[in-house]
Amino acid sequence: MDQTFTYIFTRIAPYYPEGEARALARLVLETRFGFTWVEICMGKDAPLLLEQRRELENIVEGLQRKEPVQYILGEAEFCGRRFEVAPGVLVPRPETEELVDWVIDDCKAHGVEDMHVLDIGTGSGCIAVTLACAFPHARVSAMDVSADALQIARRNALAAGRDIAFLQKDILVEAGGLDVAWDVIVSNPPYVCECEKRGMDTNVLAYEPAEALFVPDDDPLRFYRAIGKYAARTLADGGKLYVEINRAFGEETSVLFESLGLRRVTLKKDAYGNNRMIRCEK
C-alpha cells in the first residue's frame, strides 16, 4: 500500500492512534476521491490531479486540526445511508443506529407500517429519515430547536425522497401545538453532563454543537422529564417512546418514566454493554 494513502497516513499519524489514522485515510480516499479499497491496497490510488491535490491538502490540514472527518467531507453514514452534515448538527453516532434498529424491529414484528412518528431533537434528521425510508406509509414529523439543524434535516429528507413534517420547537418550554396521537415518539436528546467534558476528544468539544450534547450537572434528566411528560400526554394508547440515554442514568431515567405513568419500561444495552436506550409504553 503506498502513494496517496501513505501520504495522508504519514501526515495525520502524529495526531491519531494508528488504526484511526488508517481508517481516516481510507475514508477520505474512498468518499472524496472515489478509490476502492482494492485500488488503495494495490497502490493504484495516485496520482491525483493538481486540483485534487489542493483539496487533499485542505482535508489533511482539517484532520490535523482534529475537525471531525464527517464535517470535512460534508457527510456521514447512518444505517447504510449518507447524510449531509455540517458544524450546526451532531454527527450521527453508531449507538443511535441501534436505537433506530430497535424501533424498526418492533414495528416490523407487530406488522405496523402506517404509524404516526415523531422524532424530537432531529439534528441531521438521521432518525426521522431512516424511519421514513423503512416505513414508506408512516407519517413522520421531526422537531428541533435549531434552525440550522432543520435546514440540513430538510435537505436530507429531500435527498432520500421522503416527505417529513419539520417543526422548529423547544421541547423544554413549548410541548404543545403538535398534539397528534403519536404511535411512536423517538428521541436522542442532549444527555452528556458538563462534568463529562474532561474525558472527551477535541474533535467533539471544539467542533460539535454544545447545545446538541450537554446538560447541566445539576439536572441531567431535564430532557427526559420534558419528553416523558409530552409522551405521556400525546402517545396513542399502546404507543411507544424510545430514547437514547446517558449510560450513567439508566435506573433514574426508568424510574422517571414510570413516575410519569409510562408502562413496561425496558432498559437496553448498546453493543459495548452500556445501558444506552429505553423503551416504554402508554
Compose the 226-245 pattern: x for residues touching ligand GLN by CB under 6 A, - for all others: ------------------x-
By rule CB under 6 A, what count of residues binds ligand SAM? 23
Contacting residue, 3, 122, 141, 203, with ligand SAM by CB under 6 A: 122
Which listed range, 31-39, 164-172, 188-196, 225-233, lies at the site for ligand GLN (CB under 6 A)? 188-196
Residue closer to ligand SAM, measured from CB, 29 or 150: 150
Give residue 256's Cα distance to chain centre.
Answer: 24
- Report the relative pairing of strands 214-215 and 116-120 from DSSP bridges: unpaired
Output 18 or 272, the one with its CB closest to ligand GLN: 272
Q: Which residues pair with 220 in a beta bridge?
A: none
CB of 167 vs ligand GLN, minimal distance in Å: 19
Q: Are strands 275-281 and 235-244 parallel, antiparallel or unpaired?
A: antiparallel
184 binds ligand SAM (CB under 6 A): no
State yes or no: residue 145 binds ligand GLN (CB under 6 A).
no
Q: Which of 190, 220, 228, 239 binds ligand SAM (CB under 6 A)?
A: 190
Segment near ligand SAM (CB under 6 A), from 13-21, 50-58, 67-75, 89-97?
89-97
Q: How many residues does the chain have?
A: 282
Task: Say whether residue 92 binds ligand SAM (CB under 6 A).
Answer: yes
Does residue 78 interact with ligand GLN by CB under 6 A? no
The pattern of x and - marking residues 238 through 277 that bind ligand SAM according to CB under 6 A reads ----------------------------------------
Q: Choose from ligand GLN, ligand SAM, none: what does 245 bind? Cβ within 5-8 Å by kind.
A: none
DSSP string, the chain: --THHHHHHHHHGGGS-HHHHHHHHHHHHHHTT---HHHHHTT---PPPHHHHHHHHHHHHHHHTT--HHHHHTEEEETTEEEE--TTSPPP-HHHHHHHHHHHHHHHHTT--S-EEEEES-TTTHHHHHHHHH-TTSEEEEEES-HHHHHHHHHHHHHHT---EEEE--TTT---S----EEEEEE----EEGGGGGGS-HHHHTTS-HHHHEE-TT-TTHHHHHHHHHHHHHEEEEEEEEEE--GGGHHHHHHHHHHTT-EEEEEEE-TTS-EEEEEEE-
Query: Out of 23, 172, 181, 200, which residue is the one contacting ligand SAM (CB under 6 A)?
Result: 172
118 counts as binding ligand GLN under rule CB under 6 A: no
Best CA proximity match to 256, nearest among 206, 216, 220, 202:
220
**Does 81 sit near ligand GLN (CB under 6 A)?**
no
- Residue 73 vs 205, nearer CB to ligand GLN: 205
The residue from 83, 102, 191, 257 that contacts ligand GLN (CB under 6 A) is 191
Choose among 32, 47, 34: nearest CA to 2.
47
Binding residues vs ligand GLN (CB under 6 A) = 93, 95, 188-192, 204, 213, 244
Binding positions for ligand SAM, rule: CB under 6 A: 90, 92, 96, 121-124, 126-127, 143-146, 149, 170-172, 188-190, 211-213
